[in-house]
Amino acid sequence: MDNSIQFLVDNFVKQIVATVEAAAAHRVQAAVSVALGAGPAVALKRRPGRPAKASYLVAPVAHAPAQRRPKQFCPVPGCKGVAAPVFGMVCSEHRKVSKALIKKYRAQRRAAK
């Protein structure tokens, strides 16, 4: 019985040692490749929020560059001003226009399309 327990403990310890060594080797390899400029720096870039669990075990994913959204213009006919959320998605010149009138202008613009 002592032999079987000793065998189980030895196997368990070998598995833990192999896992820790593999993780350490992966982290060292990633750090060296980033330091030499050969590897993806995206994998080690700090981002806001809680870090992922075991992030060093997951392969890095290359993201496409973010594209800017097109500017939204004021819905008032003939106005070329840029709409802003602080003004209720109209330009600063037309922020005092009633919401019903703005709704009517938007409906006209949709009907024209």
CA 79 to chain centre: 35
Is residue 24 situated within a structural domain? yes
For 82, phi then psi, to 5°, come to -90, 130
Mean pLDDT of 50-61: 61
What pLDDT digit, counting tens, does each position of 72-102 carry?
A: 999 999 999 999 988 889 999 999 999 999 9
Is residue 53 situated within a structural domain? yes
| Same domain, residue pair 72 and 111 | yes
- Amino acid in the structure at residue 82: V
pLDDT band at residue 1 using 50, 70 and 90 as cut-offs: low
| Same domain, residue pair 74 and 106 | yes
Cβ distance 91 to 82 under 8 Å? yes
Is residue 63 situated within a structural domain? no
**Burial level of 83, CB count in 10 A (0-12/13-18/19+)?**
buried
What pLDDT digit, counting tens, does each position of 8-34 carry?
A: 999 999 999 999 999 999 999 888 887
Range of the domain at 16: 2-57
Cut 0.75: pTM above it: no
| Same domain, residue pair 48 and 84 | no
Which one of 37, 57, 77 terminates a domain? 57
pLDDT band at residue 3 using 50, 70 and 90 as cut-offs: confident
Cβ distance 91 to 84 under 8 Å? yes
Distance CA 47, CA 35 (A): 19
The tally of domains found in the chain comes to 2
